[in-house]
């Protein structure tokens, strides 16, 4: 990682399981496009987990070169989650904040290329 600290940003919310595909399509067109177009974004993933009660947990993780890059995406307070106009239509649980982690080790496949996302 060339000696510079990289940052992982993680957000988790809850949607209705029946809304999974339409929500994924919506987020691909909003948040994921914004990730891609923000300088300093190193990649992202969106994952789903059905809870078995009619709801699904949705988590987005993104990797960044710096806190300043995250601010360019999220706003001046990068710890506050960024939401879009239609999010309230889908989200059963809408957390106010996101988590940030310093990446200290890792590696692995380029899942973006492997899955065609």
| pTM of the entire predicted model | 0.85
Evaluate if residue 66 carries a pLDDT over 90. yes
**Strand partners for 43:** 63
CATH architecture of the region 6-105: 2-Layer Sandwich (3.30)
Is residue 117 within a helix (H) or strand (E), and if so which, with residue range? Answer: none
Question: What letter does residue 13 receive in the DSSP assignment?
Answer: E
Position 102 scores a pLDDT of: 93
Contacts within 8 Å (CB) and 24+ apart, 107-112? 110/43, 111/45, 112/43, 112/45
pLDDT, one tens digit per residue, over 45-63 is: 999 999 999 999 999 999 9
pLDDT, one tens digit per residue, over 75-100 is: 999 999 999 989 999 999 999 999 99
Q: Residue ranges of the domains in the chain?
A: 6-105
Q: How far apart are CA 69 and CA 89, in angstroms?
A: 28
């Amino acid at each position: 990682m060339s000696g510079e600290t990289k940052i992982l940003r993680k957000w988790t919310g809850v949607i209705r399981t029946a809304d999974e595909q339409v929500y994924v399509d919506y987020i691909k067109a909003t948040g994921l496009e914004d990730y891609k177009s923000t300088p300093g974004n190193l990649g992202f993933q969106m994952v789903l987990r059905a809870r078995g009660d009619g709801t699904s947990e949705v988590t987005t993780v993104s990797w960044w070169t710096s806190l300043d890059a995250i601010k360019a995406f999220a706003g001046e307070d990068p710890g506050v989650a960024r939401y879009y106009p239609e999010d309230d239509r889908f989200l059963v649980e809408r957390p106010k904040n996101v988590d940030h982690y310093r990446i200290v080790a890792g590696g692995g496949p380029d899942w973006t290329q492997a899955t065609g996302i």
